[in-house]
A and B are shown apart, each in its own frame.
Chain A
């Protein structure tokens, strides 16, 4: 009836089956024997395979908790949770609910973030499935970030539930009524790229207008310096020194940034733009945001003309024009030279990140990787001598 294992210094006992007066005594004896046979002082009773407990079972758990204070109940299904709640167990010990299991098989993938993929599971509900199979801490962090952005006044979808994905891993559930990603609006022809660029930049300016002081937000300048430092052995000394000095000279900035801002991460819901992917939220000077946007629309496709199509579902030339329109709107200018000047600054940071990424992904040992690495090096070699500041 019970399966025990030790995990992270805790004794985890999985209860298989329901408890009633006919087996409560045997359950109690087995539970206490398992506990007595090992040295952990904290116990997790995993109720995943337990649908029901009669009051005889509740008394066994209560007595165990009285003797072993550090006992928690986990994976408790809703019906059983209600029993624990009504009888006051939830007030006297930790009772963790089981996660609902959701299948995304055959569901439309509507978004792609840095650490997960977003599916629509019914017309009003979307689920972000995390790439990391053990993503619970990540999910918790992203929920905090979403709340932080929401409180700061950025229109943000806040996940209302965490679920287990059928087949493995975890997901966050959002309710989004009639929501469509910006990318989909362009693909379906519901909006022109220029219209979407306007909506996109309007929201970006709201994000960038918010000043926040939070320890959980990464400082993008520090992150970018880290990227640059990785390249010490891969760039000529002079270029490396220049790159490092340029990033070092970017002013400290407490304004909010999304960190991975593109048209698959923004939804239109009842006329309102909403951010759905908050795990990259950070703060810093906007050149870092423009760098990630440059990469999304142009950089990732530098050596692979099909990249934008496969990621956004939008051809490369449209993506490149879309980037330039974004830049014009952000800078509030139609002056091509001004746009080129700022693009060069964004590109330096963008190529730095791409180069590091490709090397770390063993690109030096792949044909396509070597092409990308070469393109980034060439870009940096051309840009670094003529750019003296990343500030614009």
Chain B
């Protein structure tokens, strides 16, 4: 008989770029009948505490989660962390670094559009923007639309914000992996063939990427993902098997920002739970 497992280990809340508050997200997870889930905001862990506080008896099992945006000379990566101790300084220092870098970038972008195009905002707006947990180009874009500098967020990003060549430091993949491991968590490569979301990494390139990350301590791959074709899913499963990695499943739900249904991971497309996923579920105490 086919399995009936319903899990979703990749979703975003208003703490990063999702449109549902962590508590609302929990509601949606309940409605979707998901049995195990994780909140994986970009470079932020704060939402997990809010979900935990809202949990009631009989709710689906919840795992602390995070999605770090990483980069090094070899490329860009999104690295998920699961089941870590949120109080651990090991993960807090990575979150803090991510936040600081992001703030520096936001300040640099605001500076760029002021100098290049003369776009300014009331101080109150800037303060509010910098007080957000995870502000980025979309937030500045929205502000530009509000003050009439652009017709849409997309135009703001394309025509103005992307003109800036901002030199920035990034979280390195090994820092993210070590931070997650140090907090007792499991580091997993998010949507592996898509890199940080825009790339396409296949074949030999994927091999060398995995070899490096496994060398840093990577323990899993997101092999079930809303944006995978059956071929990409099969390719990822065979990579995970080759490297002895855990297998996870995530939708990358963002609320209204993207048209992705919560729980859409295609996990029902395989008749049996793959061994790598079974081992992951055992480690996090679900099985």
A88–B231 touching, CB < 8 Å: yes
Measured in the bound complex, the distance between the Cα atoms of B191 and A54 in whole Å is: 14
Of A23-31, A268-276, A369-377, which stretch is located at the interface?
A23-31
Measured in the bound complex, the distance between the Cα atoms of B228 and A21 in whole Å is: 16
Against B, the Cβ 8 Å flags (1 = close, 0 = not) of A122-157 are 000000000000000000000000000000000000
Q: Which bucket holds chain A's interface residue count? A: 20 to 34
A91–B198 touching, CB < 8 Å: no
Answer whether A23 and B158 are a contact pair too, CB < 8 Å, given A55-B198, A83-B200, A87-B193: yes
B257–A21 touching, CB < 8 Å: no
Measured in the bound complex, the distance between the Cα atoms of B195 and A88 in whole Å is: 17
CB distance from B10 to the nearest CB of A (A): 13
The interface size of chain B toward A, counting residues with CB under 8 Å, comes to: 24
Verify if A330 is at the interface (C-beta below 8 Å from B): no
Measured in the bound complex, the distance between the Cα atoms of B233 and A88 in whole Å is: 10
Interface residues of B in 112-154 (CB under 8 A from A): 152, 154
A88–B229 touching, CB < 8 Å: yes
Against B, the Cβ 8 Å flags (1 = close, 0 = not) of A30-66 are 0010000000000000000000001110110011000
B259–A32 touching, CB < 8 Å: yes
CB nearest to B260 among chain A residues = A63
B230–A91 touching, CB < 8 Å: yes
CB distance from B253 to the nearest CB of A (A): 12
A26–B197 touching, CB < 8 Å: no
B198–A62 touching, CB < 8 Å: no
CB distance from A81 to the nearest CB of B (A): 14
Verify if B227 is at the interface (C-beta below 8 Å from A): yes
Against A, the Cβ 8 Å flags (1 = close, 0 = not) of B216-233 are 000000000011111110
B231–A55 touching, CB < 8 Å: no
A26–B152 touching, CB < 8 Å: yes
List, in ascending order, chain B residues with CB within 8 A of A58's CB.
200, 227
CB nearest to A1 among chain B residues = B154
Measured in the bound complex, the distance between the Cα atoms of B231 and A88 in whole Å is: 5
A21–B231 touching, CB < 8 Å: no
Measured in the bound complex, the distance between the Cα atoms of B226 and A231 in whole Å is: 67
Verify if A22 is at the interface (C-beta below 8 Å from B): yes
Interface residues of B in 244-287 (CB under 8 A from A): 257-260
B232–A87 touching, CB < 8 Å: yes
Measured in the bound complex, the distance between the Cα atoms of B195 and A87 in whole Å is: 14
List, in ascending order, chain A residues with CB within 8 A of B162's CB.
22
Measured in the bound complex, the distance between the Cα atoms of B202 and A58 in whole Å is: 14
CB distance from A87 to the nearest CB of B (A): 6
Verify if B21 is at the interface (C-beta below 8 Å from A): no
Measured in the bound complex, the distance between the Cα atoms of B193 and A92 in whole Å is: 18
CB distance from A255 to the nearest CB of B (A): 48
Measured in the bound complex, the distance between the Cα atoms of B162 and A25 in whole Å is: 16
Answer whether A23 and B154 are a contact pair too, CB < 8 Å, given A87-B193, A88-B229, A88-B231: yes
CB nearest to B158 among chain A residues = A22
Measured in the bound complex, the distance between the Cα atoms of B234 and A91 in whole Å is: 13
Measured in the bound complex, the distance between the Cα atoms of B198 and A83 in whole Å is: 13
A55–B202 touching, CB < 8 Å: no
Verify if A239 is at the interface (C-beta below 8 Å from B): no
Measured in the bound complex, the distance between the Cα atoms of B56 and A285 in whole Å is: 88
Verify if A89 is at the interface (C-beta below 8 Å from B): yes
Contact of B231 among A22, A28, A54, A87 (CB under 8 A): A87
Measured in the bound complex, the distance between the Cα atoms of B162 and A367 in whole Å is: 71
List, in ascending order, chain A residues with CB within 8 A of B226's CB.
59, 63
A25–B257 touching, CB < 8 Å: yes
B227–A92 touching, CB < 8 Å: no
A54–B154 touching, CB < 8 Å: no
CB distance from A28 to the nearest CB of B (A): 6
B197–A56 touching, CB < 8 Å: yes
Contact of A22 among B157, B193, B232, B260 (CB under 8 A): B157
A22–B229 touching, CB < 8 Å: no
Against B, the Cβ 8 Å flags (1 = close, 0 = not) of A314-336 are 00000000000000000000000
Answer whether A62 and B152 are a contact pair too, CB < 8 Å, given A20-B198, A25-B258: no
Contact of A21 among B197, B202, B232 (CB under 8 A): B197
Interface residues of B in 15-64 (CB under 8 A from A): none
CB distance from B204 to the nearest CB of A (A): 12
Measured in the bound complex, the distance between the Cα atoms of B202 and A56 in whole Å is: 15
Of listed A21, A22, A23, A92, residue having the most chain B CB within 10 A: A22
Apart from A20-B198, A54-B200, what 6 extra A-B contacts exist at CB < 8 Å?
A: A55-B195, A55-B227, A59-B194, A62-B229, A86-B200, A92-B229
Top 10 A-B pairs ranked by shortest CB distance?
A88-B231, A59-B227, A88-B229, A54-B198, A55-B194, A21-B198, A26-B154, A55-B200, A22-B157, A56-B198
